[in-house]
Structure 1
């Protein structure tokens, strides 16, 4: 950094994550090549607290951390997210692939890293089955096709019809036309 430059929140997140990665590599003897690891922060991510991308051509893994997750979690929880993504980087570097299978579970368990992260943002939409006795429910953060046209899809448990609720307003719809009507009625509150 040069004189007069101020650190941003993204700089802070990356600095803390890099320090933690060095500690993890030493303490848990995780054979991850930190020199072939890049870090970035997503200011937009709402669902994923982190992810690890692999570039097989360059052999570089990029860990992307969500700024909103950093704001939401305290450091020990966020450090768990960093360890989770380091396991993905380790898998990519050593095996050329990564997932949440047995090898991942074993290594993540050894590092005290969560297998999955709790949601850190409230969903924008809730999908609910309309069939009596079925308690299937799903959430979405974006207006995906199942949100926009629920009549073209079925419940994930029983195959029945479902409705979509705009979580903030409570408005519901079961068709593409209902989606458009709810969006138009809410206007700026959408």
Structure 2
């Protein structure tokens, strides 16, 4: 293969594999890299990485997002990779993965974030209406909590929240408000 045939995906995967070996060697992370497959997503719009487990084959697949690789500096992207390696460790050791105490402990040892930052701006922001509560959540799609906020509560104090359509600044607290904002914005929605 000539240099002209190498792609950005080839570069991303090569750097990721090298970093994974360094993490395993330098930190003693007990994972079997020969049971890890690698993939690049060209379509993901907010998630920088993911780890999928095929229990029948006992193979973990780390999927890294090209857009995130292009947007982040290497140290930030390497942290995303370490996050996914913790999930590989969980899958290989316990057959399941999550972000609980077991994850937090291992992630801290690797200087990996508990949650990876999104690399795109949210379309909606949910904001608690209770005074003194600064809970906020971001959404990229019109999920049920965005469409029908009156059926959900703040993630901290259980108070009511409002939803803001980031681009327009319009807010609502009910399904009717969602419908009204969507209708008012029309093609700008």
TM-score (norm 1): 0.84
Higher mean displacement: 62-71 or 49-58: 62-71
1:96 equivalenced with 2:85 (yes/no): no
2:82–2:112 CA contact under 8 A, matched in 1: yes
Change (3 A) 1:156 1:24: closer
Aligned length: 189
**Structure 1 Cα separation of the partners of residues 160 and 109 of structure 2:** 43
Structure 1: which 5+ residue stretches go unaligned?
none
Change (3 A) 1:79 1:147: same
Q: CA RMSD in A?
A: 2.4
Change (3 A) 1:174 1:78: same
- Could you tell me which residue of structure 1 aligns to residue 136 of structure 2? 137
Shift of 1:132: 4.2
Provide, for residues 13-43 of structure 1, a one-character-per-residue CA deviation record: whole Å limited to 9, x for no partner: 2222112112222222333222211111223
2:31–2:88 CA contact under 8 A, matched in 1: yes
Task: Give the secondary structure class of the aligned counterpart of 1:16.
Answer: helix
- Once the two structures are superposed, the pairs formed by residues 1-190 of structure 1 within 5 Å of their partners are 6-190=5-189
TM-score (norm 2): 0.85
**Structure 2 Cα separation of the partners of residues 105 and 151 of structure 1:** 33
